[in-house]
Amino acid sequence: MAIDFKPLQENINIHFHDSYFLKQAFTHSSYVNEHRRKNLEDNERLEFLGDAVLELAVSDYLFKHFPDMKEGEMTKLRAAIVCESSLVKFAEALSFSDYILLGKGEENTGGRYRPALLADVFESFIGALYLDQGIEQVQSFLDKHILSKIDHGFFSQMKDYKSQLQEYVQQDNIGEIEYKIADEIGPAHDREFHSEVRIEGKIYGLGIGRSKKESEQEAAKKALIKFGVLKAE
């Protein structure tokens, strides 16, 4: 399957010097597994790098543009910006799903629009852009497509339950929080994660999601409900 990345590059007004980085950012492991003879590399390592670059770029922006914002507030806002639900919205707005290289199994089960996969692709793209053109171009891209939304209240409704739970636990000195993946169910292309959140060894919440991050967020939400911080829906 050949995908033309020119429309994407024209849409974001960024043209990669090395097109290999761009293609790798959109190459899912399921596609690599089905095309082993093509010497392809999936986007998992780029996702790892992009996650770190994204946090740094967002932290730098908040530090410089909000001099009166306290550390705790910056932490909450950054968490809302880089959480899975936000990354999915960014990927969807830029039509990233149109460019993902998937294996047939993943494609047939709707993987192209799976939230966890879209969030991973967005992070991979950030990693690829960083390798190709450096942190300045990453910052410019984020300023234009994401960080400018802060002033319009785009992130005010985002709920980062893990940060809320951390703040509550620290405030009341309840103990140390630990997240644990209790189970993984289903094939690689359609996996379901089950997470536990423990405080001082005691389970306070169980969460299920299509990614580890999503399941941990759900577990944290359940813990907040148990503490009475949130109301059960």
Any idea which residues carry the catalytic annotation? 51, 123
Burial (CB < 10 A; 0-12, 13-18, 19+), residue 183, is exposed
Which contiguous run of DSSP H or E holds residue 208? strand 202-209
Distance of CA 149 to the CA centre of its chain: 17
Buried b / exposed e along 88-104 (16+ C-beta atoms within 10 A): bbbbeebebbebbbbbe
CB contact set of 174 (below 8 Å; sequence gap of 6+): 168, 199, 200
Nearest to 167 by CA among 68, 39, 73, 42: 73
Q: In angstroms, rounded to a whole number, what is the distance separating the alpha carbons of residues 202 and 162? A: 17
Give the DSSP per-residue string, 68-133: T--HHHHHHHHHHHHSHHHHHHHHHHTTGGGG-B--HHHHHTTGGG-HHHHHHHHHHHHHHHHHHH
Helix or strand or coil: residue 182? strand
